[in-house]
C-alpha cells in the first residue's frame, strides 16, 4: 500500500491516489468517501483499506464458525464464536457491520458483512452471506467445513438504527440481502422487550425463495408477540418494484415523528428516498444505510446553514472571542495593568513565544496530512478547529492592539485567517457543496497561513533587532 | 495544481516578496512600532537605530556564547539597544534641572526601583506620538516630600501645598528640565493648570512661551 498508483478498488478501478485526494479535500467519513470515489461500491472488499486510510482503527478478533446453515440456495448464515472462549464481543447497534478476514491461498482477503444477531448478544456474531458466483471470498467460505478459522473486526459504520427512542415509530424499507441489519434491529427490539415500540417492515425481494420464507416466518412470529409490529412482503417478480405511490401510502399513514430506515442495493435505497421526499417526509427523518443521503430541496433552500440549522460549538466560541476583541479595540476598553504589562520586554517576548507555539501546533495538522499519515487525522482535525477558535484570545494576551505599519498587516491577516476557516463546511454545508467555493476557501486558508507564519518569524527578527 | 498546492505556492511567493521588500532601506519606516514623538517627526530610523558591530552571524554566535557563560557581555542584535546616550547625543546641556545622571546617586535607590528616573525612556517612550508617555503628579512626591524652603515667597507656602498633597501644582510653575524661558509665578492658583500640562505632554505647544533656552541638535551627526 505504499504506491499511490496502486489499484485500491478493482471493481470500480479506483487508485489509492484518487482516494487520498478525496480525503485531502475534506472527505472525512466512509460513506462520503464511497459516494465521492465510487470505491467499494462493487464487491466491497476494499472497504477496509478506505477505513484504514481514514484513520479508523480496526481491531481484529480470531473467531471460528461453529454453526452454518443454508437459508436459501446461495445464502448461508454463519455463527461465529471467538477462539478465546472467555472473549465477549462488544455490543453493537443494528446497522453495524463487521469485516471478516481470511487467509486464502496465502493472501489475506477481507469483506464487510452486516451483523444480524441481536445487539445484546456478546457470545457470538451472526452474519448472512450471499454466494457470489466466481467470488474469491464467498466461494472459499461456502466450501469450508466447520470449524473455519477467521478474523473479524469490531463493529464498524456510523449508520445505525435508533431503537432507543420509543416515542419515534420505525418504518424499514428493505430489499434483497439488505434485510440483514433489519433482522438485527427487529430481534433486538423484540428481545429487549422495548415497550410500545412501533416497527413496520416493508421487504422487497426478487425471488420468493427460502430466505424470504424463513424471514417471513421469523417476522410473523415476532409480529404476533408484539402489538406494534407489522410486516409486508413484496415479491417484485410478481408485483414489480416498489412504486412512489406505495411509499406515499405508507408515509401518509405514518406518524410525523416516524424514522425511516432504508437498507438494500444502492439503486433501491435512492429510489425509496426519492419516494419518501416526494411524499413530504423530512430528509432528517430518513436514514439510508449504504447510499448517499438525499436532501429535500425545499429544506435546503430555506436552511442554508446545515440540515440541523446549527453551528458547531467552536464557531460560537470563535465568533464571541472575535467580537469581544474588536469591541475592546474599537471602543478602547483597555485594562491599564495589561497595557503596562504589554510594554515590558520580557512579557512581550514570552507571550510571543506562546503565540508562536500555538501557531506551530496548528501547523501540525496539515503536516500530518502532508505526510499522508491519515491515522487519527480526524481527531487532529477536531483539535485544529477547536484550537483555531481561540486565536483572538491568544492574540489578546500578547497584544490588545492591531499594531502599526507591518504589524497591522500581520494582525489583520492573522485574524482574517482565523475567521475564514471558522466559516467552513461544518457550519455552511450547503454553500460548500459548490467545489469552486470549497477549493477557493481551502487555497486562501493555506495561502494566509503561510503568509502569517512568514510574517511572524519576520516579526521575531525585527523585535530582536529593534530592542 | 490542487487548491492546497496553489495556496502554498502563493503564500511562499508573497512572503518572500514581502520580506525582501521590507528589508529594503526605503521601507524601513514600515518597521516602526508607532508614530514618532513631537519634534522627532523628521528623523530617519537610523538616527537612533545604529547598526550594531559585526555581522548577524557573529552577533548570534556571540550571544549564544554569552548564554553559555563563555562570554561576559551580550552583543546587540542588528541594531544597538536604545539607551540614554542616544537621547543625550542631541539633548545634552549643562543646566538641566533633572539630568538623568543625578538619579544614579545612592539616595535615589528606592525611586530608581519605582519609576527608573535615571532612564530617559521611562518618561519619554519613543513611538508613542507624545512628548511624555509616562508621568503621574505624585512622582514628584517620591523625592520632594521632605522639602523645606526658608523665606518662602509664594502665596501658599510649599510646605502647605505638600501637606495638602497638592502635587498637581508643581509643574504649573517648574519646568522639569528647565529648558523653557519662563517667569516663576508666585500666586498659587495662577499657575498653569495640570490639564494644560497634560495637553503639552501629549503634543500641544508649551503653555508659557515657545522659546527654548537650548535647541536640540537636529541630527546625531550635527557638530
Q: Which residues of A fall within a CB distance of 8 Å from B2?
A: 21, 24-25, 439
- Picking from A13-27, A445-459, B29-43, B141-155, which range would have the lowest pLDDT averaged per residue? A13-27
Rounded Cα distance, A424 and A315, in Å: 9
Per the DSSP assignment, residues forming a β-bridge with A98 are A113
Residue A404 and residue B32: Cβ atoms within 8 Å?
A: yes
Q: Order of strands, edge to edge, in the sheet holding A149-153?
A: A107-114, A97-104, A149-153, A60-72, A75-82, A124-130
Decide if A63 contacts A89 (C-beta within 8 A): no
State the pLDDT at residue A337.
Answer: 92
State the pLDDT at residue A314.
Answer: 93
Instruction: Express each pLDDT in A301-337 by its tens digit.
Output: 444 444 445 788 999 999 999 999 999 999 999 999 9
State the pLDDT at residue A305.
Answer: 44
State the pLDDT at residue A68.
Answer: 85
Q: What is the arithmetic mean of pLDDT over B160-174?
A: 93
Location of each CATH 1.10.10.1100 domain in chain A: 7-53
Q: Which three cell numbers stand for residue B141?
A: 512626591
3-state SS, residue B79? strand
State the pLDDT at residue A1.
Answer: 41
Residue B31 and residue A447: Cβ atoms within 8 Å?
A: no
Mean pLDDT, chain B, rounded, equals: 91
- Picking from A155-159, A323-327, B76-80, B142-146, which range would have the lowest pLDDT averaged per residue? A155-159
Residue B11 and residue A445: Cβ atoms within 8 Å?
A: no
Nearest neighbour of B4 by CB, restricted to A403, A442, A462: A442
Lookup result for grid cell 448464515: A77
User: What percent of chain A lies above the pLDDT cut of 70?
Assistant: 90
Q: Do you find a cis peptide bond into A147, omega within 30 degrees of 0?
A: yes
State the pLDDT at residue A331.
Answer: 94
Lookup result for grid cell 505504499: A2
Q: How far is A399 from chain B (nearest CA, A)?
A: 12
Rounded Cα distance, A202 and A174, in Å: 6
Q: What is the arithmetic mean of pLDDT over A209-213?
A: 59
State the pLDDT at residue A97.
Answer: 84
Q: Which three cell numbers stand for residue A166?
A: 420509543
Q: Which residues of A fall within a CB distance of 8 Å from B33?
A: 403-405, 407, 466
What element of type H or E holds B8? Answer: helix B3-22
State the pLDDT at residue B123.
Answer: 95
At the fourth CATH level, which superfamily is domain A60-153? Translation factors (2.40.30.10)
Residue A24 and residue B81: Cβ atoms within 8 Å?
A: no
Residue A167: pLDDT over 80: no
Lookup result for grid cell 524601513: B28
Is B19 an interface residue toward A (CB < 8 Å)?
Answer: yes
User: What percent of chain B lies above the pLDDT cut of 70?
Assistant: 98
User: What ipTM score was computed for the predicted complex, to two decimals?
Assistant: 0.85
Decide if A318 contacts A391 (C-beta within 8 A): yes
Lookup result for grid cell 544597538: B80
State the pLDDT at residue A222.
Answer: 80
State the pLDDT at residue A45.
Answer: 61
Rounded Cα distance, A38 and A256, in Å: 34
Q: Tell me the Cα Rg of chain A.
A: 27
Residue A462 and residue B15: Cβ atoms within 8 Å?
A: no
Record: fold of A170-297? Rossmann fold (3.40.50)
Instruction: Express each pLDDT in B88-140 by its tens digit.
Output: 999 998 889 999 999 999 999 999 999 999 999 999 999 999 999 989 999 99
Residue A451 and residue B15: Cβ atoms within 8 Å?
A: yes
Decide if A72 contacts A211 (C-beta within 8 A): yes
Residue B202 CA neighbour count, 13 Å, CB half: 7
Residue B32: pLDDT over 50: yes
Distances A370 to A24, A430, A444, B69, B125 between C-alpha atoms, Å? 9, 27, 17, 41, 46
Decide if A306 contacts A427 (C-beta within 8 A): yes
User: pLDDT-derived band of residue A208, with 50, 70 and 90 as boundaries?
Assistant: low
User: pLDDT-derived band of residue B171, with 50, 70 and 90 as boundaries?
Assistant: very high
Residue B18 and residue A455: Cβ atoms within 8 Å?
A: yes
User: pLDDT-derived band of residue A393, with 50, 70 and 90 as boundaries?
Assistant: very high
Residue B14 and residue A439: Cβ atoms within 8 Å?
A: no
Q: Which of A450, A455, A461 to mutate to test the interface with B (most CBs of B within 10 A)?
A: A450
Q: Which residues of B fall within a CB distance of 8 Å from A446?
A: 3-4, 6-8, 11
Q: Kindly list the residues of chain A whose beta carbon comes within 8 Å of any beta carbon in chain B.
A: 21, 24-25, 343, 403-407, 438-440, 442-451, 453-455, 458, 461-462, 464-467
Name which residue leads in pLDDT, A309 or A28.
A28
Give per-residue burial for A151-170: e unless 16+ CB within 10 Å, then b: bbbebbbebbbebeeeeebb
Decide if A425 contacts A26 (C-beta within 8 A): yes
Instruction: Express each pLDDT in A340-357 by its tens digit.
Output: 899 888 999 999 999 999
Q: What is the arithmetic mean of pLDDT over A132-160?
A: 83
Location of each CATH 2.40.30.10 domain in chain A: 60-153
Residue A465 and residue B78: Cβ atoms within 8 Å?
A: yes
Is this model's pTM higher than 0.80 or not?
Answer: no
Rounded Cα distance, A21 and A14, in Å: 11
Q: Which three cell numbers stand for residue A378?
A: 480526524
Report angle CA A312, A453, A390 to the nearest 5 degrees. 30
User: Judging by DSSP bridges, how do beta strands A60-72 and A14-15 pair with one another?
Assistant: unpaired
DSSP secondary structure letter of residue B100: G
- Picking from A90-94, A290-294, B24-28, B208-212, which range would have the lowest pLDDT averaged per residue? A290-294
Report angle CA A386, A285, A19 to the nearest 5 degrees. 55
Closest chain A CA to residue B22 = A406
Residue A465 and residue B79: Cβ atoms within 8 Å?
A: yes
Q: Which three cell numbers stand for residue B64?
A: 549564544
State the pLDDT at residue A132.
Answer: 81
User: Which range, A68-72, A92-96, A371-375, A399-403, is most confident?
Assistant: A399-403
Q: Which residues of A fall within a CB distance of 8 Å from B32?
A: 404-405
Instruction: Express each pLDDT in A410-459 by its tens digit.
Output: 999 999 999 999 998 888 877 887 778 888 999 999 999 999 999 999 99
Mean pLDDT, chain A, rounded, equals: 83
- CATH number of the domain located at residue range(s) A7-53 in this protein: 1.10.10.1100
User: Which range, A130-139, B169-178, B214-223, is most confident?
Assistant: B169-178
Interface of B with A in 74-103 (CB under 8 A): 76-79, 81-82
Residue A462 and residue B31: Cβ atoms within 8 Å?
A: yes
Decide if B104 contacts B119 (C-beta within 8 A): no
> What is the 3-class SS of chain A, one letter each residue?
CCCCCCEEECCCCEEHHHHHHHHHCCCCCHHHHHHHHCCCCCCCCCHHHHHHHCCCCCCEEEEEEEEEEEEECCEEEEEEEECCCCCCCCCCCECEEEEEEEEECCEEEEEEEEECCCCCCCCEEEEEEECCCCCHHHHHHHHCCCCCEEEEECCECCCCCCCCCCCCCEEEEEEHHHHHHHHHHHHHHHHCCCCCCCEEEEEEECCCCHHHHHHHHHHHHHHHHCCCEEEEEEEHHHHCCCCHHHHHHHHHHCCCCCEEEEECCHHHHHHHHHHHHHCCCCHHHEEECCCCCCCCHHHHHHCCCCCCCCCCHHHHHHHHHHHHHHHHHHCCCCCHHHHHHCCCHHHHHHHHHHHHHHHHHHHHHHHHHHCCCCCCHHHHHHHHHHHHCCHHHHHHHHCCCCCCCHHHHHHHHHHHHHHHHHCCCCCCCCHHHCHHHHHHHHHHHHHHHHHHHHHHHHHHHHHHHCC
State the pLDDT at residue B170.
Answer: 94
Rounded Cα distance, B49 and B81, in Å: 8
Amino acid at each position: 500500500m505504499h504506491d499511490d498508483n496502486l489499484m485500491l478498488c478493482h471493481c470500480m478501478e479506483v487508485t489509492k491516489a484518487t482516494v487520498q485526494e478525496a480525503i485531502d479535500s475534506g472527505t472525512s467519513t466512509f460513506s462520503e468517501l464511497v459516494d465521492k470515489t465510487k470505491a467499494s461500491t462493487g464487491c466491497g472488499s476494499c472497504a477496509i483499506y478506505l477505513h484504514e486510510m481514514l484513520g479508523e482503527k480496526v481491531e481484529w478478533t480470531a473467531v471460528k464458525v461453529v454453526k452454518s446453515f443454508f437459508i436459501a440456495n446461495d445464502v448461508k448464515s454463519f455463527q461465529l464464536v471467538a477462539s478465546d472462549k472467555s472473549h465477549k464481543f462488544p455490543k453493537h447497534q443494528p446497522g453495524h457491520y463487521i469485516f471478516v478476514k481470511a487467509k486464502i491461498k496465502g493472501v489475506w482477503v477481507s469483506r464487510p458483512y452486516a451483523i444480524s444477531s441481536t445487539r445484546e448478544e456478546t457470545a457470538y456474531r451472526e452474519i448472512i452471506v450471499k454466494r457470489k458466483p466466481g467470488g474469491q471470498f464467498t466461494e472459499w467460505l461456502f466450501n469450508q467445513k466447520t470449524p473455519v478459522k477467521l478474523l473479524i473486526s469490531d463493529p464498524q459504520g456510523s449508520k445505525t438504527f435508533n431503537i432507543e427512542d420509543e416515542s419515534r415509530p420505525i418504518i424499514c424499507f428493505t430489499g434483497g440481502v439488505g434485510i440483514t441489519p433489519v433482522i438485527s434491529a427487529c430481534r433486538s427490539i423484540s428481545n429487549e422487550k422495548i415497550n410500545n415500540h412501533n416497527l413496520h417492515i416493508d421487504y422487497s425481494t426478487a425471488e420468493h425463495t427460502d430466505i424470504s420464507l424463513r424471514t417471513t416466518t421469523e417476522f410473523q412470529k415476532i409480529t404476533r408477540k408484539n402489538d406494534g409490529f407489522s410486516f409486508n412482503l413484496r415479491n417484485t417478480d410478481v408485483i414489480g418494484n416498489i412504486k412512489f405511490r406505495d411509499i406515499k401510502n405508507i408515509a401518509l399513514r405514518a406518524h410525523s415523528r416516524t424514522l425511516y430506515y432504508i437498507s438494500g442495493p444502492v439503486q433501491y435505497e435512492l429510489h425509496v428516498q426519492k419516494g419518501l421526499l416526494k411524499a413530504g417526509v423530512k430528509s432528517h427523518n430518513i436514514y439510508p444505510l449504504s447510499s448517499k443521503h438525499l436532501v429535500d430541496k425545499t429544506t435546503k433552500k430555506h436552511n442554508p446553514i446545515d440540515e440541523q440549522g446549527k453551528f458547531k460549538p467552536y464557531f460560537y466560541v470563535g465568533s464571541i472571542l472575535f467580537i469581544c476583541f474588536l469591541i475592546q479595540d474599537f471602543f478602547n476598553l483597555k485594562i491599564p495593568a495589561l497595557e503596562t504589562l504589554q510594554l515590558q520586554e520580557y512579557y512581550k517576548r514570552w507571550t510571543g513565544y506562546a503565540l508562536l507555539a500555538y501557531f506551530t501546533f496548528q501547523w501540525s495538522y496539515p503536516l500530518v496530512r502532508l505526510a499522508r499519515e491519515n491515522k487519527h487525522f480526524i481527531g487532529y482535525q477536531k483539535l485544529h478547529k477547536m484550537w483555531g477558535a481561540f486565536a483572538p484570545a491568544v492574540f489578546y494576551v500578547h497584544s490588545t492592539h492591531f499594531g502599526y505599519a507591518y504589524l497591522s498587516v500581520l494582525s489583520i491577516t492573522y485574524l482574517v485567517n482565523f475567521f475564514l476557516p471558522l466559516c467552513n463546511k461544518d457550519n455552511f454545508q450547503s454553500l460548500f457543496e459548490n467545489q469552486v467555493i470549497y477549493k477557493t476557501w481551502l487555497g486562501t486558508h493555506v495561502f494566509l497561513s503561510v503568509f502569517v507564519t512568514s510574517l511572524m518569524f519576520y516579526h521575531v527578527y525585527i523585535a530582536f533587532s529593534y530592542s | 495544481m490542487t487548491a492546497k498546492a496553489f495556496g502554498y505556492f502563493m503564500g511562499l511567493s508573497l512572503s518572500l516578496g514581502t520580506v525582501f521588500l521590507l528589508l529594503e532601506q526605503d521601507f524601513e519606516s514600515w518597521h516602526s512600532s508607532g508614530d514618532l514623538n513631537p519634534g522627532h517627526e523628521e528623523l530617519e530610523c537610523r538616527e537612533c537605530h545604529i547598526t550594531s558591530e559585526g555581522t548577524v552571524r557573529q552577533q548570534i554566535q556571540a550571544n549564544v556564547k554569552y548564554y553559555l557563560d563563555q562570554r561576559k557581555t551580550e552583543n546587540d542584535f542588528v541594531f544597538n539597544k536604545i539607551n540614554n546616550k542616544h537621547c543625550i547625543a542631541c539633548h545634552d546641556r549643562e543646566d538641566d534641572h533633572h539630568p538623568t545622571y543625578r538619579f544614579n546617586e545612592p539616595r535615589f535607590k528606592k525611586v530608581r526601583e519605582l519609576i527608573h528616573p535615571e532612564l530617559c525612556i521611562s518618561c519619554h517612550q519613543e513611538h508613542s506620538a507624545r512628548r511624555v508617555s509616562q508621568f503621574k503628579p505624585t512622582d514628584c512626591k517620591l523625592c520632594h516630600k521632605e522639602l523645606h524652603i526658608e523665606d518662602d515667597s509664594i502665596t501658599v507656602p510649599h510646605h502647605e501645598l505638600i501637606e495638602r498633597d497638592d502635587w498637581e501644582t508643581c509643574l504649573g510653575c517648574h519646568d522639569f528640565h528647565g529648558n523653557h524661558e519662563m517667569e516663576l509665578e508666585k500666586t498659587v492658583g495662577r499657575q498653569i493648570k495640570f490639564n494644560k500640562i497634560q495637553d503639552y505632554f501629549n503634543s500641544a505647544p508649551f503653555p508659557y512661551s515657545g522659546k527654548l533656552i537650548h535647541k536640540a541638535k537636529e541630527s546625531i551627526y550635527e557638530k
